[in-house]
Structure 1
Amino acid sequence: MKDWFKSGSPGIWLTAGAVALAVVMVVSVLLLTAGRGLGHFWPKAVAETSFTERDGSKIRLIGEIREREEVAVRRLRDSGFNIDSQEKFVTRALFKMGNRDVTGADFRWFPEPLLGPIAFPQDLITIERREWGNFYGHLKAVKENDQVVAEGPQAWVQAQARFDRAKKLFAQIYKLEKKDIGDVNYRIEQLRLEQRRAEIRNALTPELKASLEQRRAKLDEEFSVLQAQLQKLRDEIARDSLVAEIMDGQEKEVKFAVIADIYRPNAMNLGEKFVHYGRKFWEFLTDDPREANTEGGIFPAIFGTVMMVLLMSVIVTPFGVMAAIYMREYAKQGPLIRIIRISVNNLAGVPSIVYGVFGLGFFVYLLGGNIDRLFFPEALPAPTFGTPGILWASLTLALLTLPVVIVSTEEGLARVPRSVREGSLALGATKAETLWRTVLPMASPAMMTGLILAVARAAGEVAPLMLVGVVKLAPALPLDGYFPFIHLDRKFMHLGFHIYDVGFQSPNVEAARPLVYATALLLVLIILGLNLFAIRLRNRLREQFRGLETV
């Protein structure tokens, strides 16, 4: 046993066990996140039953059974429920009742001993609304201009056809509002800025003013035409509606204009459920959020996260590499360089929120405010760069991750043998040529390692972004078809902040919980994808350098 300990085998087994435990923990977290998040898009069966209230009255329930848990009978009796059971614990079910505009709450717990027989009628419909969440009920009729056009079995066929029509009209309305009317508003704003710029420079001549007024009149006329088209589409989409009976027996009318999706989950076969699942998951990836971010998709957050990480990488890599090259290759090694190295190492431990405060004060207020006064005076007092935006967020995170890149690059430069430098210099190369052609290629894997660590940390940061650019809902992406195409002054959405907002700031926590898991899983996958791309690039550089070395 003593020889076994001296051989170092215990340390090897301990290390292997720790690595295995870490892998199991990581995989467990990913599986838990995937299980709770990806299941959100599967069409849930809608149940119908009855429930005995505290006063003995019975009500009808229609909704999705989301969870079940055991609860103490004594606790339910203390709450006023008449539970006739000899058991200490009974099961209660969490119903998603929907119809929030009628019931006032989406979710409610019901003790199962007080529930009646649970059925799953095939004619129950689920309606995902653009406002007020889900709607559940029995479809009774379809109306056109307040006149019933279908009842009974034909009502579902008519509902599907008219929903498809409403969906196409909604797409046209969305395009008209976002693209056509948005383009006119953009050009009108540019005219205003052009006039204001001329006024500041005392160059607003009567001819220029007349030209601006003429162009503005044309834009106003174009805007009026588009508004008329928009109103016509809105009138058309408001034509159709459906009538459904909800759980309290009332018949409610729902306009197809507010319906995002309609389906009968209890009547779906397995293939239809898989098709529905794929469509919902694709909508989650490509659509804009709605209902205070608890419904819809997260495409703006995905786009903002990736664009911010790319901008941060472009900024931090050259500065970190140049700083490391100077300190390792050119600076005289002494007390000053040692102090700088200690400071760089200490910066890696500064809380990220401190970087956010610095970015807000220096980048946004000082640098951005001066940029506005020098280059965008016509837009004042409305700020252009003097407000949080994706550029300042990228710079702030570049500062946050700069120590990682510097330290990794310095370590890579230090691993290059001195004999390689001396051999290059002996062959007549200058110091700069030696650095560029020999040392940096050999140190490039270490530089990529620093970039990988920087990307992994920056993509998951939230605290500093709350101060320097991220918002709950961005009205426009930082990239569009208007010059200069990349708008670094715009605010943006971020997956990390989206998780925080949906998980802790949502008015409907139960509805938002699955989206928190799904978004968290997507953020992990995006970080993994960015890291794998950087790792592949690093490995290619390493293999390329090995090939040159053999030659």
Structure 2
Amino acid sequence: MKRRSPHTIREATWLRDGLWPWLCAACVALSLLMLAALLTLLVTRGLSHFWPATLEEVTLGSGDIIIGQSVREAPLPQNAGLERLYFTGNREITGANWRWVSVDDITQQSTPNDLIRLERTPWGDFIGRLIAVESEGQQLTGQEAWDHVKNALTMPPSQRANSELLLATADGQTLRQPVSGISHFQAPNAMSWGQKTYVWGQNVWRFLSQGPRAANTGGGVWPAIFGTVLMVILMSVMVTPFGVLAAIYLNEIAHQNRLTRLVRIGVRNLAGVPSIVYGVFGLGVFVYGIGGSIDTWFFSDELPSPTFGTGGLLWASLTLALLTLPVVIVATEEGLARIPDAQREGAVALGATRLEMLTRVVLPMATPAMLTGVILAVARAAGEVAPLMLVGVAKLAPQVPLDGEFPYLHLERKFMHLGYHLFDTAFHGEDVQAAIPLVYATALLLVLIVLALNLTAIFLRHHLRRQRGNEC
């Protein structure tokens, strides 16, 4: 046997005790840094959208006056200075909500307290000044007009008085705006820091509790939150028993031969199949195959309008259950393989049947591994978008698939999903620039929902482990 030199031994010891721990620590630190950077970007860009931004009144060298919110600055070509992007609103007058202004062309800039911002339908935001309010033959001005608008907005649109706002734009034009078409009113320049914090909280709550509007570039995402959580729960309920039973058969019942090994290889390969392939399978088998047959057998009076023969919550959940089935099988089988054979042999030696040994000894010990598979399945399914575009997700579905009408949970209905809402808002909105902050806010919300679902499963897994340890 060839003996190693002391230099070789020292070099191997340095690699084992000096280099590799530092490399591992550097990789962990880099991963955490990238995760922190991602969360910081989502939090700062997403939550800052709901803060009542200061409105500026800008006078240009040409004499034009602009009223709007300063968004960002960018350099001009050939180092010719900077230009600033303003959100000016008033789309029905100017034809656009945005305007680039050269910073060197600004001669005067101020933030008057009387500037207001209205969220309205159908022309989007208005930015300007409130002249008066006409209500029941009276004209209110000053603080009375502001109080009247704020009180009217606390009531539903159908119950608001037949009153109109007289508004003035930056160039002196006058507009008439019915109060019934206004969803939000604020004067951010006149607010204190505490008032802005309160309005910020209200805006966040509206984003979480209301439905979308203005082609998903405004309003909230409540239907998408509900659809995402409900679909993930249904998917978990469907995939867990099938994945666990399949893993039990492969590890505990089937003979360990070449066929079993081929099945395992096939299951692991299925985990790498692109998700859109599962969407095509769900469309052909679940929607057109099974759903079309159900319509023919039970809903023939409704044809040719499909009931189950079109995309819906049930088919989307089944498709994602099929997508995540290999993950649950692999995780559960690995947990079963880690259980010592002595546990099985001891249970059988004490007189337990094979079924009792599986249900009372093996499965309780493998429960944490099963939940690990469910955690991985939830993490993958919650962010999938491609298969859902084929089997049931909708651009706009303000009615959630749960109501007071029998059967209460309507699995045949289309639903909204945060992942698809994120994709549609970013690429198919009427105003992409206005949608950018909502994209960050929706992405942050999706991350938090996935985190909450995973933490629930992790907490349950730790609870079962602790309970199992106490029993032992």
**TM-score bracket, shorter-length normalisation:** over 0.9
> Counterpart of 1:35?
44
> Counterpart of 1:18?
27
Q: Secondary structure at the match of 1:65?
A: strand
Q: How does 1:21-420 map to 2 (within 5 A)?
A: 21-52=30-61, 57-72=62-77, 74=78, 88-144=79-135, 147-161=137-151, 163-164=152-153, 167-170=154-157, 173=158, 237=160, 239-420=162-343
8 Å contact kept, 1:371–1:386: yes
Structure 1 residue 160 displacement after superposition: 2.6
> Counterpart of 1:434?
357
Give the letter aligned to residue 25 of structure 1. M
CA distance in 1, matches of 2:30, 2:13: 23
CA distance in 1, matches of 2:414, 2:455: 28
Pick the aligned partner of 1:456 from 362, 367, 379: 379
Give the letter aligned to residue 66 of structure 1. V
CA distance in 2, matches of 1:447, 1:93: 54
Deviation >4 Å, runs of 4+: none
Query: Runs of 5+ in structure 2 lacking a partner?
Result: 1-9
8 Å contact kept, 2:55–2:69: yes
Structure 1 residue 153 displacement after superposition: 4.6
Q: Secondary structure at the match of 1:261?
A: strand
Give the letter aligned to residue 303 of structure 1. F
> Counterpart of 1:5?
14
Q: Secondary structure at the match of 1:487?
A: coil
The answer to whether structure 1 residue 498 and structure 2 residue 424 are counterparts is: no
CA distance in 1, matches of 2:447, 2:467: 30
8 Å contact kept, 1:238–1:255: no
> Counterpart of 2:5?
none
Structure 1 residue 9 displacement after superposition: 3.3
Give the letter aligned to residue 515 of structure 1. L
8 Å contact kept, 1:46–1:63: yes
> Counterpart of 2:3?
none
For normalisation by structure 1, the TM-score amounts to: 0.82
CA distance in 2, matches of 1:354, 1:337: 25
CA distance in 2, matches of 1:6, 1:263: 63
Deviation readout 1:484-538 (Å, 9 max, x if unpaired)? 1111001000000010000111110111100000000000000000000000101
The answer to whether structure 1 residue 444 and structure 2 residue 367 are counterparts is: yes
The size of the alignment, in residue pairs, is 463
Structure 1 residue 238 displacement after superposition: 6.4
Deviation readout 1:445-486 (Å, 9 max, x if unpaired)? 110000000000000000000000101111421111111111
Give the letter aligned to residue 73 of structure 2. R
8 Å contact kept, 1:4–1:10: no
Q: Secondary structure at the match of 1:531?
A: helix
CA distance in 2, matches of 1:30, 1:152: 44
Change (3 A) 1:378 1:238: farther
Which shows bigger deviation, 98-107 or 2-11? 2-11
CA distance in 1, matches of 2:333, 2:150: 64
Change (3 A) 1:18 1:6: closer
Give the letter aligned to residue 133 of structure 1. G
Give the letter aligned to residue 408 of structure 2. F
8 Å contact kept, 1:48–1:120: yes
Deviation readout 1:312-344 (Å, 9 max, x if unpaired)? 000000000000101111111112111111110
8 Å contact kept, 1:472–1:498: yes
Structure 1 residue 118 displacement after superposition: 0.7
Q: Secondary structure at the match of 1:116?
A: strand
Q: Secondary structure at the match of 1:168?
A: coil
Deviation readout 1:366-410 (Å, 9 max, x if unpaired)? 000001111222222211111000110000000100000000010
For normalisation by structure 2, the TM-score amounts to: 0.96
8 Å contact kept, 2:115–2:128: yes
